[in-house]
Structure 1
Amino acid sequence: IGEMPLDLQAKLLRVLETGEFLKVGDSKPTKVNVRIIAATNRNLQQEVEEGHFREDLFYRIAVFQISLPPLRERVIDIEELAIFFLRTFTNKTNKKINKISKNYLEALKQHSWKGNIRELKNVIERSVILTGTTELEEDSLPLELQRLGTLDNREKTLSAFELASVEKVHIQKVLNYTNGNKTETSKLLNIALTTLYRKIDEYHIK
């Protein structure tokens, strides 16, 4: 709700105050009896002070507030969430993946998760797509999550050529999974669509 424009905020406030709204094309108001459950990642009190959010609407919806800490502050929840998403996507893809490796979990726990649970969900879905065994391993993670140089006592990172090879394989697998849908592929890979097209051209992916 924190991204709602001021004009829409005024309309929502009017519905909450009057208990009715006017449908497009109707001349008679429709009565409603609803409870609003809203979510935001913004500080609404600060938004009010800066004039980006209506003060009267804020006090209308802020009767009962629940503050949910970001995922990076709830490391203890990451394993349970990862298992939940693993089950969700293995059921969706009919894959028989029933384990998550220790290294994989450690990599998840060390990540900052700026995208919170949505980012974690996308990462697990990507790993399920790329995994051909019964266990999620760290090499199925995006490169920025992999703890290069720390696993199995490795003291060197992948060369640029190796990184490119891994990236090409990942992109090809996700494209196969989405049946060539480049928009969906870019979302799963968490890259811009223009970047995906550039990579496809760069790696000569068909």
Structure 2
Amino acid sequence: FQISLPSLKERVQDIPVLAKHFVAVFADKTNKAALEITDDYLAALKQYTWPGNIRELKNIIERSVILEEAGKLTTDTLPFEITHTQETGNLSSFDLALVEKQHIKKVLNYTKGNKTETARLLNIGLTTLYRKLEE
């Protein structure tokens, strides 16, 4: 007797239900109030191919719940490979400058736009930060 279950990428319609379940579980586990899931967050989850299936989804959502700070899950809490697969097509075609710029933007977001603090955290000079942002 064998049960055949399609992969998560073949069951995209299940992702919102699974995401809500995992968010509730991990919000409770981390003693956080009910968290809102933004539309952009769900859209990013739906477009990803999920090579790790449900275990990967569960781990990604746990990470997001831990990283969130404003009571809602946004794409800022997702790993780079999930939020940028549509830009690059696949992980092997990443452009180093693109990865670097996205990391700088995440740190800028973390410091609430403070460029001096961002440069300090990235261990680069302020002029280097400005140059990399302009590229």
TM norm structure 2: 0.65
Matched, 1:144 2:77: no
Measured in 1, the distance between the counterparts of 2:41 and 2:84 equals 9
> What letter corresponds to residue 56 of structure 2 in structure 1?
E
> Structure 1 residue 166 and structure 2 residue 106: aligned?
yes
Q: Deviations over 1:164-197 (max 9, x none)?
A: 5737x99xxxxxxxxxxxxxxxxxxxxxxxxxxx
1:77 to 2:14 alignment: yes
Contact 2:76 2:106 in 1 (8 A): no
Partner of 1:107: 44
CA contact (8 A) 1:148 1:158 kept: no
Aligned residues of 1:123 and 1:141 also touching (Cα < 8 A): yes
Per the TM alignment, residue 66 of structure 1 is displaced from its structure 2 partner at its CA by 0.8
Provide structure 2 residue ranges, at least 5 long, that are not aligned to the other structure. 88-96, 111-121, 124-135
Deviation at 1:98, TM superposition (A): 2.3
Contact 1:113–1:119 (CA under 8 A) maintained in structure 2: yes
Distance 2:67 2:98 in 1: 19
Q: Distance in 1 between matches of 2:56 and 2:4?
A: 19
Superposed, 1:43-82 pairs within 5 Å as: 64-82=1-19
**C-alpha displacement of 1:70:** 0.3
Q: Matched residue pairs, number?
A: 102
Is 1:97–1:133's contact at 8 Å kept on the other side of the alignment? no
Q: Counterparts of 2:58 and 2:44 in 1: how far apart (Å)?
A: 15
Larger radius of gyration: 1
Listed one character per residue, the Cα deviations across residues 30-57 of structure 1 (whole Å, up to 9, x for unaligned) are xxxxxxxxxxxxxxxxxxxxxxxxxxxx
Tell me the percent identity: 48
Distance 2:86 2:53 in 1: 26
Q: Are the aligned partners of 1:72 and 1:113 in contact in 2 as well (CA < 8 Å)?
A: yes
| C-alpha separation in 2, matches of 1:166 and 1:133 | 15
1:100 touches 1:136 (CA, 8 Å); kept in 2? yes
Q: Which amino acid aligns with 1:96?
A: A
Partner in structure 2 of residue 122 of structure 1? 59
Is 2:32 the counterpart of 1:95? yes
How far did 1:97 drift?
3.8
Q: For residues 100 and 146 of structure 1, do their structure 2 counterparts lie closer, same or farther at Cα, with a shift above 3 Å needed?
A: same
Amino acid of the structure 2 residue aligned with 1:87: A
Residue 144 of structure 1 aligns to a residue whose secondary structure is helix
Contact 2:7-2:53 within 8 A present in 1 as well: yes
